[in-house]
Amino acid sequence: MRTPIRTPECPTFCPHPQQRVKPTIVKAYLIPIAPFEEQKRIVAAVGAVFSILDDIDSLQGLYSENMQSIRNKIIEAGIRGKLTEQLPEDGTAVNLLEHIAEKRAALQAAKVIRKTKPLPPVSENEEPFRIPSSWKWVHLSDLYRFTNGTASRGTEGGTPHPVLRLADLTDGRIDTSDVRELSLADSEYASHIIERGDLVIIRVNGSREKVATIYQYLDDAEMSYCDHLFCGKSYSNRISPRYISLICRSELVRKQVDPLIKTTAGQNTISQGNLGKTIIPLPPFAEQERIVDRIDAFLSALPE
């Protein structure tokens, strides 16, 4: 009776506010009847099929979990320095941090950015695990400055500018094919510009898992961004946005970020300051690129 077989001449339901079926209609159903012993075999066979389907569902769930676990382990191996060779010609993270400090000081002297007190260096007790000697543990704020998006909902007499929204962040990438425009004052736009190579970070979202998700901005066209987002601008072009984006997908970063997310009225939020406190391992620039290439190669070899 659970099969889709019905008698064509008989309607399934009678017209009534509460849907119901008449006994006369049920009696009119045509069903195939097998010999009694075969009926039992059919029931047993169907039961076995459903049992197999249940097993398949369970195995598919385990397979998906195992695939995610494998992906996490590949990323973790990469950010521990286990997938790449440390080459003397790459220099060291200490050299890189000295270069970044010079760039940061130059931006402050030119009044492009305000002078702020950096966080204390990561202590040995704070280090989550051992890394190669040419690397260094750093805070994200040592490498990037973060800015909230524009809170403007449109300025009368302003100039129309494209403004990136949460809806434009899909499937792990930024889709600029349908970005909406908003009239902004020139000063408002100038202080909220995303450029190629910047990071776009979800600041607030109804889904806790999406908060602090990082995207690379790869478009050549400049645009603004809404106040649900952060923009991360690096102090130096020797920081690979590919590496930062990848490492921020790791369990290392997620475990640090999750306790810092605040929930108010169903919205989950992380602040610039808390995001900037995140501790990550920093290799020399050339090795950052090699790590991403190696991890991408491993991940692309995994079945979907």
The model's pTM is: 0.76
Structure confidence at residue 126 (pLDDT): 95
Q: Are 165 and 228 in contact (CB under 8 A)?
A: yes
Q: Which residues of 107-146 are buried (b: 16+ CB within 10 A; e: fewer)?
A: beeeeeeeeeeeeeebeeeeeeeebbebbbbbbbbbbbbb
Which fold does the domain 66-301 belong to in CATH? Adenine-n6-DNA-methyltransferase TaqI; Chain A, domain 2 (3.90.220)
| Tokens 């400055």 -> residue | 145
CA–CA distance, 194 with 141 (Å, rounded to integer): 18
Residue 86 has pLDDT above 80, yes or no: yes
Q: What is the pLDDT of the chain when averaged over all its residues?
A: 86
DSSP letter string, 20-41 = ---HHHHHT-------HHHHHH
Here the tokens at position 270 are 């992380």
Side chain identity at residue 295, one-letter code: I
CA–CA distance, 124 with 100 (Å, rounded to integer): 22
Q: Does an H or E element contain 83, and which?
A: none
Provide, rounded to the nearest whole percent, the portion of the chain with pLDDT above 90: 59
Stretch 279-285: mean pLDDT, rounded? Answer: 97
CA–CA distance, 260 with 132 (Å, rounded to integer): 28
Instruction: Give the number of other CB atoms < 10 A from CB of residue 258.
Output: 14
Structure confidence at residue 19 (pLDDT): 63
Here the tokens at position 52 are 């197999």
DSSP letter string, 38-52 = HHHHHHHHHHHHHHH
Residue 53 has pLDDT above 70, yes or no: no
Residue 16 has pLDDT above 70, yes or no: no
Maximum average pLDDT range among 12-21, 133-142, 187-196, 246-255: 133-142
Structure confidence at residue 58 (pLDDT): 64
Stretch 175-189: mean pLDDT, rounded? Answer: 90
CA–CA distance, 138 with 33 (Å, rounded to integer): 74
Structure confidence at residue 28 (pLDDT): 74
Provide the terminal-to-terminal Cα distance of the chain, rounded to the nearest Å.
38
**What are the pLDDT digits (tens) for 224-267?**
999 999 999 999 999 999 999 999 989 999 999 999 999 998 89
pLDDT band at 2 (very low <50, low <70, confident <90, very high): low
